């Protein structure tokens, strides 16, 4: 079987220090990869480019929260109950499978299993009894009185659980965005797609909080005529932001704006526009928290269209859940132009009645009653742990107060662009991989954008002459001191050294030759044109800086 592009890229990636299979000396483990010296830089460059869009252009703030997350957080967020894959085990060969990967498309799970249509891909035995498996890695905090915890399935929850503190940091203004870049985890049943389906992956997420009555975006006006590439229900279209919102194709300005930011970021990172589209989630594939979701998909020869970014309207789902579960005030405030005097009904519990009736639960009931919204009260039910209690009328009075209110509380909505950095990185490698023949040999070029390339400049003394080497070393050091990543190489023919740089995507090579001694000049070779320009040594840094800035 001839190698496909995926194989070729992963071989190059391993040989040249981009990506290594993790734990390979112990047989490896599906779903885990290491970033080598070049991969690590490439990843950082992509993440920093992403940060530029969100921190500078969109004025978000960044936080960092632990990967280990308490059970309570993920119970409230719905992940304990909903973050599952339907799985089936083969009783014969002991393999497990994610059902949606082994049943035919356009067939329901019920139909497939009720009619014996599912066979084990390994041993062909009929498979039975699919069941949901939670995909979070679990662990325990502490020893004796340990607490259940999981590795976070997304970075987002660390933002939601701090919302009240972050809202204060942002001076209580909306829209207000918070980002987090870091690890996410998903204990896949049986990952079989290499670096595309990781169990531990790098994410970059932004949670932008909006007043639900106003999902406009301050920058929308500037970009409204730009075009988005949409794919909805098998229909492709190129449509302006403004039109997409007007026609209702995209639900609101905010969603459209972050789709545009995503498109711009991906293009700048080096995605091929012909291998890019936004696909709208059908209602039955929406995550448990999402109201509307668009995926940015990138095309890969082996895997087809891959979901690399999800841009979801999570509405008030998460904050509501955490307010309900933790009883913390995580509301935002919509201020009135001037304070209003409002008539408010409040419940005043009678502890003398409540106490004997509900014993140790009375205190909790008191708190709940005091914070309850009161309109027309018929019966009051209170939920404590999982028990629902009816509170008799003689346990409280309803009293009307006058209260000065400066505004009304509400739960913000969230727009979430969530990026899978590893998948984006792989697709950038694939979209920029080029293979030609040179003197009968395979010649590989990674046409990475200069501002993304792990190494910006190869520094190459033409021959092994100590005078050239001295100059080359000095140029190399000056570039590095200026923060420009270099690769110094004096081994082999100059052609072979250019080839090594082309293969890892280095956009420029500086060659130091005997003229360099005479007149302080060098040649700078451009990877894509292979043209060489003669430049004064003192002008190198400025020349390179201009070329690699973005």
Task: Answer yes or no whether residue 385 interacts with a second copy by CB under 8 A.
Answer: no
Task: Answer yes or no whether residue 543 interacts with a second copy by CB under 8 A.
Answer: no
Which position among 1, 2, 26, 114 is part of the footprint of a second copy (CB under 8 A)? 26
Per-residue three-class SS string for 113-176: HHCCCCECCCCCCECCCCEEEECCCEEEECCCCCEEEEECCCCHHHHHCCHHHHHHHCCCCCCE
Q: What residues numbered 173-232 form the site for a second copy, per CB under 8 A?
A: 178, 183, 185, 187, 189-190, 199-200
Task: Answer yes or no whether residue 316 interacts with a second copy by CB under 8 A.
Answer: no
Which position among 13, 43, 244, 446 is part of the footprint of a second copy (CB under 8 A)? 43
The whole-angstrom separation of Cα 216 and Cα 255 is 9
Q: Mask: binding to a second copy, 487-526, rule CB under 8 A, as x and -?
A: ----x-----------------------------------
Which position among 8, 12, 102, 162 is part of the footprint of a second copy (CB under 8 A)? 162
Which position among 5, 12, 68, 287 is part of the footprint of a second copy (CB under 8 A)? 68
Task: Answer yes or no whether residue 363 interacts with a second copy by CB under 8 A.
Answer: no
Nearer to a second copy, 323 or 512 (CB): 323
Phi then psi for residue 321, to 5 deg, are: -60, -45
Q: Which of 58-66, 114-122, 296-304, 440-448 is the region at the interface with a second copy (rule: CB under 8 A)?
A: 58-66
Q: What residues numbered 407-426 form the site for a second copy, per CB under 8 A?
A: none
The whole-angstrom separation of Cα 310 and Cα 206 is 11
Task: Answer yes or no whether residue 23 interacts with a second copy by CB under 8 A.
Answer: yes
Nearer to a second copy, 22 or 216 (CB): 22
Q: Which helix (H) or strand (E) holds 361?
A: none
Task: Answer yes or no whether residue 320 interacts with a second copy by CB under 8 A.
Answer: no
Question: 């896949």: which residue's tokens?
Answer: 188
3-state secondary structure of 14: helix
Phi then psi for residue 100, to 5 deg, are: -65, -15
Site residue total, a second copy (CB under 8 A): 77
Nearest to 285 by CA among 31, 71, 105: 105
Q: Which of 160-168, 273-281, 338-346, 388-396 is the region at the interface with a second copy (rule: CB under 8 A)?
A: 160-168
3-state secondary structure of 399: strand
CB 293 within 8 A of CB 474: no
Nearer to a second copy, 231 or 331 (CB): 331
Nearer to a second copy, 4 or 82 (CB): 82
Which position among 5, 8, 12, 72 is part of the footprint of a second copy (CB under 8 A)? 72
Q: Which of 72-80, 369-377, 384-392, 411-419 is the region at the interface with a second copy (rule: CB under 8 A)?
A: 72-80
Which position among 69, 244, 366, 516 is part of the footprint of a second copy (CB under 8 A)? 69
The whole-angstrom separation of Cα 114 and Cα 517 is 81
Q: What residues numbered 78-97 form the site for a second copy, per CB under 8 A?
A: 87, 89, 94-96
Task: Answer yes or no whether residue 36 interacts with a second copy by CB under 8 A.
Answer: yes
The whole-angstrom separation of Cα 428 and Cα 5 is 13
Q: Mask: binding to a second copy, 452-491, rule CB under 8 A, as x and -?
A: ----------------------------xx---------x
Which position among 7, 24, 285, 515 is part of the footprint of a second copy (CB under 8 A)? 24
Nearer to a second copy, 1 or 56 (CB): 56
Q: What residues numbered 135-154 form the site for a second copy, per CB under 8 A?
A: 137-145, 147, 149, 151
Q: Which of 33-41, 117-125, 366-374, 435-443 is the region at the interface with a second copy (rule: CB under 8 A)?
A: 33-41
Nearer to a second copy, 62 or 465 (CB): 62
Nearer to a second copy, 313 or 422 (CB): 422
The whole-angstrom separation of Cα 207 and Cα 314 is 9
The whole-angstrom separation of Cα 527 and Cα 503 is 10
| Beta pairing, strands 292-300 & 96-98 | unpaired
CB 425 within 8 A of CB 43: yes
Phi then psi for residue 531, to 5 deg, are: -70, 150
Phi then psi for residue 87, to 5 deg, are: -125, 155
Q: How far is the CB of 222 from a second copy (least distance, A)?
A: 14
Give just the sign of the alpha carbon dihedral 349, 352, 357, 359: positive
Helices 5-16, 421-431: axis angle to 10 degrees equals 100
Task: Answer yes or no whether residue 64 interacts with a second copy by CB under 8 A.
Answer: yes
Q: How far is the CB of 387 from a second copy (least distance, A)?
A: 20
Task: Answer yes or no whether residue 22 interacts with a second copy by CB under 8 A.
Answer: yes
Give just the sign of the alpha carbon dihedral 227, 228, 229, 232: negative
Phi then psi for residue 485, to 5 deg, are: -75, 125
Q: What residues numbered 106-135 form the site for a second copy, per CB under 8 A?
A: 133
Nearer to a second copy, 20 or 299 (CB): 20
Q: Which of 54-62, 116-124, 288-296, 461-469 is the region at the interface with a second copy (rule: CB under 8 A)?
A: 54-62
DSSP structure class, residue 492: S
DSSP structure class, residue 506: -
CB 85 within 8 A of CB 79: no
What b/e sequence results for 10-32 when a residue is b if at least 16 CB atoms lie within 10 Å of its CB, and e otherwise?
bebbbebbbbbbbeeeeeeeebb
Nearer to a second copy, 190 or 291 (CB): 190
């Amino acid at each position: 079987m001839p190698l496909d592009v995926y194989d070729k890229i992963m071989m190059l990636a391993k040989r040249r220090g981009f990506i290594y299979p993790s734990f390979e000396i112990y047989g490896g483990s599906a779903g885990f990869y290491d970033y080598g010296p070049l991969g690590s830089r490439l990843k950082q460059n992509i993440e920093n480019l992403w940060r530029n869009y969100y921190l500078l252009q969109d004025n978000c703030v960044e936080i960092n929260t632990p990967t280990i997350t308490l059970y309570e957080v993920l119970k409230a967020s719905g992940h304990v109950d909903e973050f599952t894959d339907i799985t089936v085990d083969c009783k014969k060969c002991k393999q497990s499978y994610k059902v949606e990967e082994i049943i035919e498309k356009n067939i329901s799970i019920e139909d497939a299993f009720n009619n014996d249509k599912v066979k084990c891909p390994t041993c062909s035995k009929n498979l039975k009894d699919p069941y949901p498996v939670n995909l979070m890695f679990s662990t325990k905090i502490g020893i004796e009185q340990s607490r259940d915890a999981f590795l976070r399935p997304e970075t987002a929850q660390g933002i939601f659980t701090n919302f009240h503190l972050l809202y204060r940091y942002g001076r209580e203004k909306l829209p207000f965005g918070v980002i987090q870049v870091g690890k996410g985890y998903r204990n896949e049943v049986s990952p079989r797609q290499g670096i595309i389906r990781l169990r531990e992956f790098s994410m970059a997420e932004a949670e932008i909080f909006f007043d639900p009555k106003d999902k406009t975006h301050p920058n929308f006006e500037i970009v409204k005529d730009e075009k988005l590439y949409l794919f909805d229900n098998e229909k492709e279209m190129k449509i302006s932001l403004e039109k997409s919102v007007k026609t209702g194709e995209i639900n609101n300005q905010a969603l459209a704006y972050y789709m545009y930011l995503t498109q711009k970021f991906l293009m700048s990172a080096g995605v091929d526009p012909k291998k890019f589209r936004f696909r709208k989630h059908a209602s039955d594939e929406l995550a448990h928290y999402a109201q509307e979701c668009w995926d940015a998909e990138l095309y890969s020869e082996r895997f087809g269209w891959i979901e690399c970014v999800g841009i979801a309207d999570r509405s008030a789902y998460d904050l509501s859940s955490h307010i309900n579960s933790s009883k913390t005030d995580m509301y935002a405030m919509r201020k009135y132009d001037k304070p209003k005097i409002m008539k408010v009904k409040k419940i005043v519990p009678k502890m003398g009645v409540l106490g004997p009736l509900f014993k140790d639960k009375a205190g909790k009931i008191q708190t709940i009653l005091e914070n309850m919204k009161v309109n027309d009260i018929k019966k009051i039910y209170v939920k404590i742990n999982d028990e629902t209690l009816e509170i008799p009328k003689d346990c409280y009075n309803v009293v009307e107060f006058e209260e000065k209110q400066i505004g009304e509380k509400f739960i913000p909505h969230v727009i979430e662009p969530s990026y899978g950095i590893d998948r984006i990185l792989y697709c950038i490698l694939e979209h920029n991989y080029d293979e030609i023949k040179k003197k009968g040999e395979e010649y590989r070029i990674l046409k990475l954008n200069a501002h993304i390339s792990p190494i910006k400049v190869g520094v190459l003394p033409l021959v092994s002459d100590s005078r050239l080497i001295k100059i080359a070393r000095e140029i190399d050091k000056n570039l590095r001191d200026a923060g420009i990543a270099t690769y110094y190489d004096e081994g082999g023919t100059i052609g072979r050294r250019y080839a090594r740089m082309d293969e890892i995507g280095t956009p420029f090579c500086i060659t130091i030759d005997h003229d360099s001694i005479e007149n302080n000049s060098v040649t700078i070779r451009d990877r894509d044109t292979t043209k060489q320009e003669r430049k004064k040594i003192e002008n190198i840094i400025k020349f390179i800086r201009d070329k690699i800035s973005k």
